[in-house]
Amino acid sequence: MASIGPPPLTGIKVLEFAGLAPCPFAGMLLADAGASVMRIDRASDTRSLPTSDLLTRRKASIAVDLKSASGVSFVKELVAQGAADVLIDPFRPGVLEKLGLGPDRLLEINPRLIYARLTGFRRDGRYASMAGHDINYIAVSGALSLLGRPDDTPHPPTNILADFAGGGANLFQGILLALLARQSSGRGQVVEANMVDGSAYLATFPRFGLKSGMGARGRGNNLLDGGCPYYDTYETKDGKYFSVGALEPQFFKVLVEGMGLGSHGHGLEDKRFDFDEWPAMRTLFRDTFKEKTRSEWEAIFDGTDACAAPVLDYEELENDPAREGDQRPSVTLRGTPCLAINQRPARSDPVTHGQGAGVAGDGYAGEPLAPGDGGPEMLRSWLGWEEGEHYHVQKGAYVLSRAGSKL
């Protein structure tokens, strides 16, 4: 195998203000790609008390009292000395600006800084001043109106769509674009992301479907949203579930033959696009799938083009070695792979599984990060700072010593 280089973001230093869900996810993606990520926690007298954030993989922490001038100075010093390439702001609009840590001030201190910030609602929209959660952001984005069965209320897909896909992953993408732009311009910039626009962008294809006819029959009545009987899930004899997605005619033919329905005179292939036939077809599929266990259906469909696969849960993915449950980097870079998540034997391919030894929990269990954990080591790595010489800790808060300041 050809030699591989270090992870793609090696050498990039990130300051991440502590938050929950989407911004920590963006920071974790950066860390998994090799960036050095330092979380800025609120100061606490109890330095060992972890926060509720579990998206802490490969991160370190320092604790700063942002309500004090000394805390604000500490953050400015990290930016001024060129230590930080990226700063992640998870707060509602105006919070860091009021502290003197807004983008105008910090980009003045360090013009190469990438100031990345994420909100739920648009900063310039009618909901900008309101609190909200994932369900609210996808609601006003339009995406939630597409999700759910026709005889029920719109149903959110937990908090995957806004917090993580439209939020954290979108912010990560923006940071990468800004890093790329900095290579040619030499300057950083503000990266703006919000979960409303991120979710709306992810819904581009089904939104087009509202005009093209593919999604024009109302929520839960269309080809890809649960209305179609051959694009749905079915309960099996043992109370588990099987997914079906046999849209193309050649795949549909394999599906009905595997189900034992191909030679029974049902004429299913001719009825695929007859909406009036869908309810009867769904009943037939539902009754048929309940005749066998999930394992029995797997024995029939594995290795075929029926577009039929078991619905696996995380407990079995984590604990059954026969399943493909090992957590890997989200994308494989063949020359500079990201860091490994799953702990594995050293003989495993680092290109496919990621470089390094993996992390505790194998991607199934997050570990809390207490304020101050790993902070001294990261400050030493970034700036050569030593506690007692360049900074000291007062009641859990990091404070500059005179030797640490160059402002």
Q: Which two tokens stand for residue 164?
A: 């993580």
Query: Strands (DSSP E) along 107-208, which ranges?
Result: 114-119, 190-194
Residue 235's alpha-carbon distances to 87, 174, 323, in angstroms, are: 47, 41, 20
Query: Where does 155-258 have alpha helices with state H?
Result: 169-185, 195-202, 204-212, 249-258
Q: CA–CA separation, 309 vs 172, rounded Å?
A: 31
Burial class (CB in 10 A: 0-12, 13-18, 19+), 45: exposed
Per annotation, catalytic residue among 32, 134, 163, 225 = 163
Return the DSSP state at 399: E
41 labelled catalytic: no
Q: Please check whether residue 307 is in contact with residue 245, taking contact to mean a CB–CB distance below 8 angstroms.
A: yes
In whole angstroms, what is the distance from residue 254 CA to residue 245 CA? 12
CA–chain centroid gap for 141, Å, is 18
- Give me the phi and psi of 134, to 5 degrees please: -45, -50
Reduced to 3 states (helix: H, G, I; strand: E, B; else coil), residue 102 is: coil
For residue 397, the SS3 value is strand
43 within 8 A of 71, measured Cβ to Cβ: yes
User: What residues have CB less than 8 Å from 265, skipping those under 6 apart?
Assistant: none
| Six-digit token string for 271 | 């009825």
The candidate with the shortest Cα–Cα distance to 165, out of 314, 25, 59, is 25
Dihedral of CA 247/248/251/257: which sign? positive
Query: Annotated active-site positions, please?
Result: 163
